[in-house]
Structure 1
Amino acid sequence: MNSGVPATLAVRRVKFFGRHGGEVNSSAFSPDGQMLLTGSEDGCVYGWETRSGQLLWRLGGHTGPVKFCRFSPDGHLFASASCDCTVRLWDVARAKCLQVLKGHQRSVETVSFSPDSRQLASGGWDKRVMLWEVQSGQMLRLLVGHRDSVQSSDFSPTVNCLATGSWDSTIRIWDLRTGTPAVSHQALEGHSGNISCLCYSASGLLASGSWDKTIHIWKPTTSSLLIQLKGHVTWVKSIAFSPDELWLASAGYSRMVKVWDCNTGKCLETLKGVLDVAHTCAFTPDGKILVSGAADQTRRRISRTTKSPSDPQT
């Protein structure tokens, strides 16, 4: 865990990104923090300029709600997962669809890029996890083992492992170094409800949020539970580490977002300004802005106050 001292939170200069045609299911910042990506129930993916809030593009193509979206680490691509059983790969600069990945038999609920941006993982209601080659769109591996819907995924900071969370209440860590078709995995057990969200930190810690209203922070290399965060009164919908790993933000299926001290497990702030059910939360790459997405089709920015007076205003 990071031993630094967390800065304080303040609600300042709130922005709303309110032109969605449906609930906001997912959000992601570009690696440079200049663009915000949102996926909506209306079947479209939206690109926004972070600082101004200007809508850059609205991209259709999916024939069902967009459940999840994520930028590639190199910033050149983004992926969207949909109830239409497909994953779409998009070019950021041209705002153009490059690939439509087909293979899932039911709604695709999660996508994640490998750190080198060469592979993409997807999972969904068909209980399967698919590993794709980004450049060709070819499926590389089919990972089978979960007993229920796969709702969340994230690659470790190296390309070696992929974590997936399921409604079977388990997390599986897949070792991708082993040869195909067999891929070994370990199971992390401890939640008493569906695993709804997963997030790796830069140092390799893994956070998981569940329908049991708790968040667990794990050390996957030893399969050990480091800390359990309790305080949500509804199931945990989205989680995000701050870049310095001092904080973890979590959105419950309610009107509030919580911010936790990762070292002590203490809830530092409960932010109640969201207008409707908070579906998603994300930090900017510099950790100074926390964004929450809500079912009322808006997004809200909440800024983080740092100790340095020389930091630029956001």
Structure 2
Amino acid sequence: MNSGVPRTLAVGRVKFFRRHRGEVNSCAFSPNGQMLLTASDDGYLYGWETQSGQQLWRLGGHTGPVKFCRFSPDGRLFASTSHDCTIRLWDVAGAKCLRVLKGHQRSVETVSFSPDSRQLASGGWDKRVMLWEVQSGQMLRLLVGHHDSIQSSDFSPSADCLATGSWDSTVRIWDLRSGPPAAVFHQKLEGHRGNISCVCYSASGLLASGSWDKTIHIWKPQTGSLLVQLEGHVTWVKSIAFSPDELWLASAGYSCMVKVWDCNTGRCIETLKGILDVAHTCAFTPDGKLLVSGASDQA
């Protein structure tokens, strides 16, 4: 855990991005923090200028609700997943779709880029994880082992491992160091008493998981040990995000609030109620100065 002294958390200047026509399922900042990407149940992806709140574009193409979105670490691409069983790769500069990745048999709920932006991981209701080569769109590996829907995924900072969270109440960590098409199931993290809805790595390699059991666990993945359990949500945890300095963890519950936690003590230091309805997602800007949440009030 980070032993630094936590900064003062200032809450204010709440800004709304209001042109969605359906629930906001996911949001992501570009690596430089200048653009915000949001995915909506209305079937569109939205791009926003972070500081001004100006809408840059609205992108169609998916034939169902857009469930998740994420920028590549190099800032050149972003990916979206949908209930239409596809993943779309988009060019940031031209705001155009480069390719459509097909292979999942049911709704695709999560997507994540490797740290070098060369690979993509996806998972969904078909209980399978697929690894793709970004440049060609070719599927490299199929990871099978979860017993229920896969709702979240994240590459470790070293890119050696991929963590996946499932409605089978487990987090699985896959060792990717062996060559394709093999991938070794490395570890299963158990302890949650409900569906796993979100996972994310910190910059130093800690792993957090959020669950329908209303708790968040922070793990040391190398040993599988539980470092701290965060309790305080009154509904299930929908989304989690580490601050870049690892001092804070933000969490969006299935309620009209986002909580911010001290990662060292496990204490909730702030409960944010700026949103108007159910919080579906949360994310820090890369510099850690701003926190955004997406909600079913379409803001």
Alignment of 1:112-127 (within 5 A): 112-127=112-127
1:216 maps onto 2:204 in alignment: no
Give the Cα–Cα distance (whole angstroms) in 2 for the partners of residues 6 and 273 of structure 1.
Answer: 22
Q: Deviations over 1:240-293 (max 9, x none)?
A: 000000000000000010000000000001112210000110000110111111
| CA apart distance, 1:67 | 0.4
Match of 2:48 in 1: 48
Match of 2:261 in 1: 260
Q: Deviations over 1:31-70 (max 9, x none)?
A: 0000000000001000000000000000000000000000
AA of the residue aligned to 2:261: W
Q: What TM-score, normalized to structure 2?
A: 0.99
| CA apart distance, 1:8 | 2.0
Give the conservation status (yes or no) of the 8 Å contact 2:140–2:181: no
Give the Cα–Cα distance (whole angstroms) in 1 for the partners of residues 165 and 244 of structure 2.
Answer: 22
Structure 1 stretch displaced more, 129-138 or 180-189: 180-189
Match of 1:143 in 2: 143
Question: 1:221 is paired with a residue of what secondary structure?
Answer: coil
Match of 2:239 in 1: 238
Q: Deviations over 1:72-124 (max 9, x none)?
A: 00000000000000000000000000010000000000000000000000000
Segments of 5+ residues of structure 1 without an aligned counterpart are 299-314
Alignment of 1:22-171 (within 5 A): 22-171=22-171
Give the Cα–Cα distance (whole angstroms) in 1 for the partners of residues 263 and 14 of structure 2.
Answer: 25
1:205 maps onto 2:206 in alignment: yes
| CA apart distance, 1:9 | 2.1
Aligned length: 298
| CA apart distance, 1:11 | 2.3
Question: 1:228 is paired with a residue of what secondary structure?
Answer: strand
Give the Cα–Cα distance (whole angstroms) in 1 for the partners of residues 58 and 274 of structure 2.
Answer: 26
Structure 1 stretch displaced more, 110-119 or 183-192: 183-192
Match of 2:248 in 1: 247
| CA apart distance, 1:12 | 2.1
Match of 1:188 in 2: 189
| CA apart distance, 1:21 | 1.1
Give the Cα–Cα distance (whole angstroms) in 2 for the partners of residues 215 and 93 of structure 1.
Answer: 36
Give the Cα–Cα distance (whole angstroms) in 1 for the partners of residues 284 and 46 of structure 2.
Answer: 18
| CA apart distance, 1:6 | 1.2
Question: 1:216 is paired with a residue of what secondary structure?
Answer: strand
Give the Cα–Cα distance (whole angstroms) in 1 for the partners of residues 41 and 54 of structure 2.
Answer: 20
AA of the residue aligned to 1:177: R
Question: 2:222 is paired with a residue of what secondary structure?
Answer: helix
Question: Alpha carbon RMSD of aligned pairs, Å?
Answer: 0.7
Q: Deviations over 1:146-195 (max 9, x none)?
A: 00000000000011100000000000000001234432121011111000
AA of the residue aligned to 2:93: A
Give the Cα–Cα distance (whole angstroms) in 1 for the partners of residues 122 and 73 of structure 2.
Answer: 16
Give the Cα–Cα distance (whole angstroms) in 2 for the partners of residues 15 and 165 of structure 1.
Answer: 31
| CA apart distance, 1:7 | 1.5
Match of 1:295 in 2: 296
Runs of 4+ in 1 over 6 A off after TM superposition: none
Segments of 5+ residues of structure 2 without an aligned counterpart are none
Identity among equivalent positions (%) equals: 86
Give the Cα–Cα distance (whole angstroms) in 2 for the partners of residues 258 and 81 of structure 1.
Answer: 26
| CA apart distance, 1:5 | 1.3
AA of the residue aligned to 1:275: L
Match of 1:21 in 2: 21
AA of the residue aligned to 2:39: G
Q: What TM-score, normalized to structure 1?
A: 0.94
Higher relative contact order (CA 8 A, sep 6+): 1
Give the Cα–Cα distance (whole angstroms) in 1 for the partners of residues 8 and 150 of structure 2.
Answer: 35
Q: Deviations over 1:13-39 (max 9, x none)?
A: 221100011110000000000000000
